[in-house]
Copies of this chain bind each other. A is one copy, B any other.
Amino acid sequence: MIESKIWMATSSDDKYKEAKEVLAEFGVELGRIDVEKIEVQADDPVEIVEYSLRQMEDDGRVVVMEDAGIFIEHFGGFPGPYSSYVLERLGNPGILKLMEGVENRRAHYGSAVAIRRGSEIKSFRGYVRGTISESIRGTGGFGYDPIFIPDEGDGRTFGEMTEEEKNVISHRARAFRKLGEWLASSP
């Protein structure tokens, strides 16, 4: 294994917790660095995290960053990379209002995880496909979870699932699982 301890640069408690639990499955310990990330405007979360990692000062530690968004098909991917910004301003009620009368409710959550070791940067993607619900349901999870119904489920929203249920199929867990596999299999 390349590293048994790596560091996540994030300001989100929720994201850090989810990532830490997934990496523990691979025997990797995840520390946390609280930095102001420079986030570029781009449609693809991979582009955003790789840019942020390159801008961050290198103090010798192996650092990971994650960026995620919900991409609604009918709106060409909106809110996508600006999901946090839009959630703060419009909230889930705003999204449901926009979706009124819209037949195509398909959406996916996408996560991009990038790791930097020295000058090397490697990225991993995770997805979960589903639909936007007709109403806000559940208080679990965070972000758009109460309006997102994953295909691989029983019709409940992410907000109605336990953390354990969500972590099995979530976009973020999937991206971090790929990272974990890569770390575990590297010589």
- Within 8 Å CB of A97, what residues of B? 97-98, 100
* Stoichiometry, copies per complex: 2
With an 8 Å Cβ cutoff, the count of chain A residues facing the other chain is 18
User: For chain A residues 47-104, which have a beta carbon within 8 Å of chain B?
Assistant: 75-78, 82, 85-86, 88-90, 94, 97-98, 100
- Within 8 Å CB of A90, what residues of B? 75, 78, 98
User: For chain A residues 127-174, which have a beta carbon within 8 Å of chain B?
Assistant: none
Q: Which residue of B lies closest to A88 (CB)?
A: B76
- Within 8 Å CB of A29, what residues of B? none
Those 6 A-B pairs whose CB atoms lie nearest each other, nearest first: A78-B89, A39-B41, A76-B89, A75-B89, A82-B82, A41-B41
**Is A33 among interface residues, defined by CB-CB distance under 8 A?**
no
- Which A residues lie at the B interface, using CB under 8 A? 38-41, 75-78, 82, 85-86, 88-90, 94, 97-98, 100
Q: Which residue of B lies closest to A99 (CB)?
A: B97
Q: Which residue of B lies closest to A94 (CB)?
A: B98
CB proximity of A12 to chain B, nearest CB, Å:
15
CB proximity of A106 to chain B, nearest CB, Å:
15
Most chain B C-beta atoms within 10 Å of own C-beta, residue among A38, A77, A89, A94: A89
Cα distance, A97 to B100, chains bound together (Å) = 9
- Within 8 Å CB of A76, what residues of B? 88-89
Cα distance, A77 to B40, chains bound together (Å) = 19
- Within 8 Å CB of A39, what residues of B? 40-41
